[in-house]
Amino acid sequence: MSQTIQRAATVLELVSIRPRTQSEVAEVLGVHRSTALRILGTLGESGLVRRRPDGTYGVGYRLTWFASLASEQFELRDLARPRIAELGAECGHTVHLAVLEDDRIVYADKIDQPGTVRMYSQIGQPVRLHTSGVAKAILAHVDAEVLERMLDGYAFERFTSTTLTSRGDFDDDLAAVRQRGWASDDGEFEDFINCVAMPVRGPDSKVIAAVSITALRAQAELDELEGLLPRLAQVCEGISKSIGWRP
Amino acid sequence: MSQTIQRAATVLELVSIRPRTQSEVAEVLGVHRSTALRILGTLGESGLVRRRPDGTYGVGYRLTWFASLASEQFELRDLARPRIAELGAECGHTVHLAVLEDDRIVYADKIDQPGTVRMYSQIGQPVRLHTSGVAKAILAHVDAEVLERMLDGYAFERFTSTTLTSRGDFDDDLAAVRQRGWASDDGEFEDFINCVAMPVRGPDSKVIAAVSITALRAQAELDELEGLLPRLAQVCEGISKSIGWRP
DNA sequence: AGTATGTGTTGCAGTATGCGCAACAGTGGT
DNA sequence: ACCACTGTTGCGCATACTGCAACACATACT
C-alpha cells in the first residue's frame, strides 16, 4: 500500500466532509505543514481539491465530474435504489445496501430518514463483519474458502455486552442465519441500535449483497423490526430478480 | 508536485471514463504492471476504486460518496445551474460556466444539448486561456498583477488561422472585450466551433466567473450567437446578483 | 489437450521521490 | 504591535516507491 496515496485519499475524505485549512490537514495526517501543502497542491493541480476564496481547501469540480462520469458503473446500486428508497419511506427507518467486493463488504447505499439520527455507516467504507446485519447476511452464504480468507486474522472485538467475540459463536450465528434466512444486529456494535438484514443474490444465485433495516432501539425494538421481514424479503427478491436471479 | 498522487489522479480519471484492466492502467501511466496494481490496490483500500466482477477496475462507492458529501460546497455552481440550464434549453446550444480559481480558470459546469456533438470541455479541467471565450471574459477584468501571473510563461500556441498568437494581440483583444462587455471564441481552438461569453461578478464586483454559449459553426455562426448577448447578459447578471453583487 | 494471453502475487535491490526542516514574507484579526 | 496562520522555498536525507523476474492461476481459443 502506498502511504502517499493513502494520505491523498484521507485528504479527499477530510475536504469532502467540509472545507479544511492546511493546518487541519497537516494535523489529521500527522505530517509537516509543507508536506500537507504539497499533497493539497498536487490534488489541486489534478482538480480533485480546490482552494476556496476563504483560504480553506474543499473538493474540486473534477471529483464531482468523475463521480458523474462513473454514475453508470453502479448497476446493482442503481437497480436497488428505488426499491430501498420505497422500503425506507414505508418503514420510516434507515435502510442500507451493502455489497461483497472480493474479500470485503462495503456499504453501497443508504436511505436516511429525515429527522432521525444519522447512522454511523459511511458509503464506500468496509462493514464491520462480526456486528453488522448486512455482513452476517452475506457471510452466512459465501463459500467456505471465501469466509476463511475474510476471517483470517479477524479480531472479534467486543463493543457491547451482546457482541459475538469468538469465531465459534460467530459460526453458530451464521448457521442460524442460514437456517432462518435473515441476520440481525442486536445492539452488537452500539447497544442503542439494532437491525435486521437479508441477502441479495446474483444471476448465479450466489449472495453478492444484502439489505438491512436499521433503527434506534428507542424507535423500534428488534422484534418490531422482525415484523418487517416479509417486506424486506420481498425487496431483496425484487433486487435479486432485477439483476438476473431466478429462483 | 507528487508524481505518485498525480498517477493516482490519472487512474481515477481513467476508471471514471470507463472501467479498465490493470494492463490498460499500466500502459497509460507508463509504469510496470506491479506498480499499477499497487496504485490500484491502495485506491481500492481507500474505496476510490473497486474491482468489478469482470476483473476490470472501476470507480469505488467512496468516490461517489465524497462527491455527494461535498455537493454543498459548490455554491456558485449551484446558484448558476438553474439559470444556465434555462438558457441552454432556450437557445439549444451548449452553455458553460467557468470559474477563476487562484491563478487559473476551470470549467465548473456545462449544459449539453441532446442530439448535439459533445464539446471538448471537461469539468474541473483548466480552460485554455487564449482561445476560450470564458477565459477572455474573465481575464479582461482581472487585476493587472493577476493577469501577469497567469500569463507568465504562457504559450500562445496556434490552433487555427484565427488563433491569437502574441501577447500584444491578446492584450488588444482583452481591451476590446473590456470595452464591449463580452468575449468570443471565433473558431480559435477548433475552427468549427464558436462561442460568446460574458463575465459573472462577485459581491465585491470583481469578476470571478463567466458563462458562454457555444455552438458548432454549422449550427450557428458567431453573429447569430451575438444575437443572444442580451439574454446572456441577463443570465450573468442574475447569477451575479444571486451571489451578492449589486450594480 | 495444448497454447497464448492476461492476471495476481511477491521478495528484493536500488534509487528516485517525498519528506521534514527552517527561515522568510505576507495577511488578517485583535 | 503582536499573534496566529498561510504560502514559499531550497536542501539533505531517509525511505517509500519502483522495476524486475518468476511463478501460479484463469480464461479463451484452437
* Residue ranges of domains in chain B: 3-68, 74-242
Q: By the 8 A CB rule, do B209 and B219 touch?
A: no
Average pLDDT, chain B: 93
Is this complex scored with an ipTM above 0.85? Answer: yes
Write A97-100 long-range contacts (CB < 8 A, 24+): A97/A134, A97/A200, A97/A209, A97/A210, A97/A211, A98/A127, A98/A132, A98/A134, A98/A135, A98/A138, A98/A209, A98/A210, A98/A211, A98/A212, A99/A208, A99/A209, A99/B61, A100/A138, A100/A142, A100/A207, A100/A208, A100/A209
pLDDT at B81: 96
User: Which nucleotide C1' is nearest B36 CA?
Assistant: D18
Q: Which CATH number fits domain A74-242: 3.30.450.40, 3.40.640.10, 3.40.50.720, 3.40.50.300?
A: 3.30.450.40
CA distances to A50, A135, A171 from A196, in Å? 41, 11, 18
Give the C-alpha separation, A200 to A137, whole Å.
Answer: 9
Q: Are the Cβ atoms of A4 and B2 closer than 8 angstroms?
A: yes
Q: Are the Cβ atoms of A1 and B45 closer than 8 angstroms?
A: yes
Separation of B21 CA and C14 C1' (Å):
29
Point out the residue among B5, B38, B62 whose CB comes nearest to the CB of A124. Answer: B62
Dig out the grid coordinates for B214 from the structure. Answer: 457555444
Average of pLDDT values for B15-38?
94
In this structure, the protein residues whose CB atom falls closer than 7 angstroms to any atom of nucleic acid strand C are A 3-4, 7, 31-35, 38-39; B 1-5, 21-23, 33-34, 37, 41, 51, 55
pLDDT at B121: 80
> B104-113 pLDDT, tens per residue?
899 999 999 8
CATH topology of domain B3-68: Arc Repressor Mutant, subunit A (1.10.10)
> B186-242 pLDDT, tens per residue?
999 999 999 999 999 988 888 999 999 999 999 999 999 999 999 999 999 999 999
Q: Which CATH number fits domain A3-69: 1.10.10.1800, 1.10.1060.10, 1.10.10.10, 1.20.210.10?
A: 1.10.10.10
